[in-house]
Amino acid sequence: MDETEVERFEQVSLAVEAKNIDREAGILRDVLIVGRKSRTDGVEYSDDAHNDACSRFEQLAVGIDHDFSGKPLKVADTWGVVKSPRRAEDGVRGDLAYIKSHVRTEQILEDASRGIGLFSLSMVAKCVEKAGKVIRYIPSRVDLVTRGATTRTLFNQGGANGTVLNAEFEALKTRVEQLDARLKIKESMQPAAQPTPAAPVFPAEFKAKEFWK
């Protein structure tokens, strides 16, 4: 199948645990820059694409909102920069050094610390797609936007993927196990069922009317 070059705007969740917010240093640690699959159109990113592009995120500017005109970032719309990008199981992660004095900083930090999940990082990149998969891409900037496409809400909770869905699944699994244990205890306390008496067996020559004489 022929290769097609397109421009993609991939949004991923920026919501992280409070422990990953270093207010003194002005850094959000371990944010997800780009994930593995877009929810908007189902396009997946190959491992090779992430591996090849990972280092390109170093010192990439982070803006506020997408500018679909393709113009360079304005000073007023620039919020931070990506540092130490690295490959992860769920895509490409890194640290985000932000401008403490920016007018939007407290709004963004509140969202991140409370886990509201409104704001996301959205990569702008030139991508080469083949058979529904991004096989190569070159990022040009990362923007802070509302909601995400590659993941909906992502917290760094120390697990393999660090997703809220994983945490909710584990909590639900634990709850099911607890209910199952309670059901077994309840069943063990029920009195044993009494066997049903067997129906009397009469000789083949037995006649009802003779029995009632």
Task: Give the per-residue pLDDT at 6.
Answer: 66
Q: How confident is the model at residue 213 (pLDDT cuts 50, 70, 90)?
A: very low
CA dist 13 → 67, 132, 151, 204 (Å): 19, 22, 6, 81
User: What are 184-195's pLDDT values in tens digits?
Assistant: 777 777 776 666
Least confident of 130-134, 152-156, 206-210: 152-156
DSSP string, 91-148: EEEEEEEE-TT-TTHHHHHHHHHHT---EEEEEEEEEEEETTEEEEEEEEEEEEEES-
Per the model's pLDDT, the better-predicted residue between 118 and 64 turns out to be 64
The mean pLDDT value for 2-7 works out to 69
Q: How confident is the model at residue 56 (pLDDT cuts 50, 70, 90)?
A: very high
Least confident of 27-31, 68-72, 81-85, 88-92: 68-72
In a domain, 167, yes or no: no
Burial class of residue 175, CB neighbours in 10 A (0-12, 13-18, 19+): exposed
In a domain, 16, yes or no: yes
Task: Give the per-residue pLDDT at 118.
Answer: 80
Neighbours of 123 (CB within 10 A): 27
Residue 68 has pLDDT above 90, yes or no: no
Query: Contact 85/97 with Cβ under 8 angstroms?
Result: no
In a domain, 149, yes or no: yes
Q: Which two tokens stand for residue 27?
A: 């850094």
Query: Contact 153/117 with Cβ under 8 angstroms?
Result: yes
- How many structural domains comprise the chain? 1
Q: What are residue 7's phi and psi, to 5 degrees?
A: -110, 130
Q: Where are the beta strands (DSSP E) in the chain?
A: 4-13, 21-22, 27-34, 44-45, 61-64, 78-88, 91-98, 119-130, 133-146
Task: Give the per-residue pLDDT at 85.
Answer: 95
Residue 166 has pLDDT above 90, yes or no: no
The boundaries of the domain holding residue 151 are 4-156
In a domain, 63, yes or no: yes
Per the model's pLDDT, the better-predicted residue between 44 and 190 turns out to be 44
The pTM score is 0.64
What is the distance of C-alpha 174 from the center of its chain?
Answer: 20
In a domain, 85, yes or no: yes
Give the bridge partners for 80, in sequence order.
62, 98
User: What are 80-138's pLDDT values in tens digits?
Assistant: 999 999 999 888 999 999 999 999 999 988 888 887 878 888 888 888 998 889 999 99
Per the model's pLDDT, the better-predicted residue between 45 and 200 turns out to be 45
